Amino acid sequence: MIPQMRILISHFHLQTGGVSRVIEHASAALAAAGHRVLVVAGEPPRQPLPEGVGFALVPALAYEERRPLVGPSELAAELVRTAREGLGDLPDLWHVHNHCLGKNLALPGALCALAQQGQYLLLQPHDFAEDGRPDLYARLLDKLGGGDAARLSALLYPQAAHLHYAVLNDRDRGFLAAAGVPHDRLHLLPNAVNLPLPTDRSADPFPGRRLWLYPTRAIRRKNLGELLLWSAMAKGPDLFATTQAPRNPDEQPHYRRWVALAQALGLALEFELGNRSDNFSTLLASAHALVTTSVAEGFGLAFLEPWLAGRPLVGRNLPEITRDFTAGGLELGGLYERLEIPLDRLDRDRLRGAMDRALEDVAAAYGRVRLPDDLGRLWASSVRDEYIDFGRLDEAAQEEVIRHLVSNPQDRAFLRPMHLPDTIPAGRIAHNRTLAERDYSITGYGRRLEGIYRSLLDATVDPSLSAADGTTLLERFLAPERLFLLRT
């Protein structure tokens, strides 16, 4: 058994969901194993932390727009003071979430200072400014890098034997490895999943209907148009639904467009069902199936949680996210990787133009120069045998397809696949539930985390820092094959 450790876990805030949920699971598992855990954040927690876990407020860790304007050295000193007060001494290691996202410009320099002082650091990026967050990347490049990508890399992706990285999926691990992070300092740490749900369906909110539920906050990358397409194909008892509206005002026009279209076409689709249910767990359990149509995810809870609810999962697969799960035995045979429609049903020139402009916009936003074959690479990944993936379209083209299928139901036969699976074998549901409970439990997460900590603490301290190649990382994330118009 690993000896008792003093562990400091930090994040910008502890709002509900997301990274805060990860911290809750990690701190609960570590405290239960006998370790002393202090969580520090720039804002107070929204709900109590697990029993035995300490908390300290460090306002300078908050988002850039809300934090006191202290510099990296002042933040490092404040973190050291807070650690000594909360743990009685410096921590054995610091576990820091999303340091490189650009939400706090003092944090990267503060962490480099701690590493140079010989502190053991585990840096865990959940999201990357290089992946669809050009405003954050531009701010980082300007304010921290002074326009110099190499200088920025030294702050965002420092390297030393006593500084390791943990990532959520094999994609991110591969990208960081390509950027030069050694494999022995790079750890796969998938999130824990904890979703105890009732099996009683007596509280079915839509008796006599088959509810196909998309548990999501309907932002653009969740690809709501694809859910509308499936609702347009609905059979008599079928009812499709989402659970939450987007919070971000920038997302509202896209969302309202889909709501208005569904109403105008009389689609079998309900919105914001989560706001009308007193018990979300019962709502999940009452669904005939859970649906995902997202074109981009970080970890992919949507591919694990349905099985814990005892419900089948149908819809779009994201192989760069799910290959970790399937390698471990999860069976996702009910999902499709592409929803294909004949290209001749669309305006080819308009689509190519939209893709060309999107490539230009992304390159400009990241200060990159487009390569001559970028459009060809994007088109080749979107179109196969004169069929294009519906998820690659923008909202205008998606709406055009949906309206056409409503007016011309005979053309639904041209879709590939033509329908969602009506049934998923009970054995697959049971198998996937057992695997999710075994491999992604909070207890298993704690054991995996302790193993990573052990590997880190076995390293020799080397205060001379080098850096990974941030330019390579950026090129991996901005590869044309990864571009979806819904993310531009």
Q: Do residues 481 and 373 lie in contact, with contact meaning Cβ atoms separated by under 8 Å?
A: no
Q: Is 478 a domain residue?
A: yes
Residues 133 and 19 in one domain: yes
Q: Is 70 a domain residue?
A: yes
- Rounded Cα gap, residues 266 and 333, in angstroms: 31
Q: Do residues 367 and 141 lie in contact, with contact meaning Cβ atoms separated by under 8 Å?
A: yes
Residues 28 and 168 in one domain: yes
Q: How many CB atoms lie within 10 A of CB 390?
A: 22
Supply the range of the domain harboring residue 483: 6-192+441-487
* Residues of the chain under the 50 pLDDT cut: 1
Q: Do residues 83 and 75 lie in contact, with contact meaning Cβ atoms separated by under 8 Å?
A: no
For the CA atoms of 147, 150, 151, 155, the dihedral, rounded to the nearest 10 degrees, stands at 120
Residue at which a domain ends, from 416, 449, 472 = 416
Per-residue pLDDT at 202: 61
Q: Is 375 a domain residue?
A: yes
Residues 399 and 451 in one domain: no
Residue 131, burial from CB neighbour count under 10 angstroms (0-12, 13-18, 19+): buried
Q: Is 144 a domain residue?
A: yes
* pTM for the full predicted model: 0.93
Residues 296 and 401 in one domain: no
Residues 24 and 160 in one domain: yes
Residues 56 and 175 in one domain: yes
Residue with tokens 């609905």: 234
- Rounded Cα gap, residues 331 and 324, in angstroms: 12
Residues 274 and 200 in one domain: yes
Residue whose C-alpha is closest to residue 326's, from 234, 199, 439: 439
- Rounded Cα gap, residues 96 and 22, in angstroms: 12
Please give the tally of structural domains in the chain. 3
- Rounded Cα gap, residues 258 and 260, in angstroms: 5
Q: Is 46 a domain residue?
A: yes
Q: Using CA of residue 151, residue 154, residue 155, residue 156, what is the dihedral sign? A: positive
Residues 158 and 215 in one domain: no
Per-residue pLDDT at 285: 84
**Residue 342 identity:** P
How far, CA to CA in Å, does 418 sit from each of 120, 257, 262, 339, 411? 53, 25, 20, 9, 10
Residues 60 and 156 in one domain: yes
Residues 219 and 126 in one domain: no
Residues 67 and 166 in one domain: yes
- Rounded Cα gap, residues 455 and 187, in angstroms: 10
Residue whose C-alpha is closest to residue 25's, from 473, 445, 389, 404: 445
Span 336-364, pLDDT tens digits: 999 999 999 999 999 999 999 999 999 99
Q: Is 1 a domain residue?
A: no
Span 125-139, pLDDT tens digits: 999 999 999 999 999
Residues 394 and 483 in one domain: no
Both structure tokens of 274: 């989560």
Per-residue pLDDT at 1: 46
CATH classification at residue 114: 3.40.50.2000
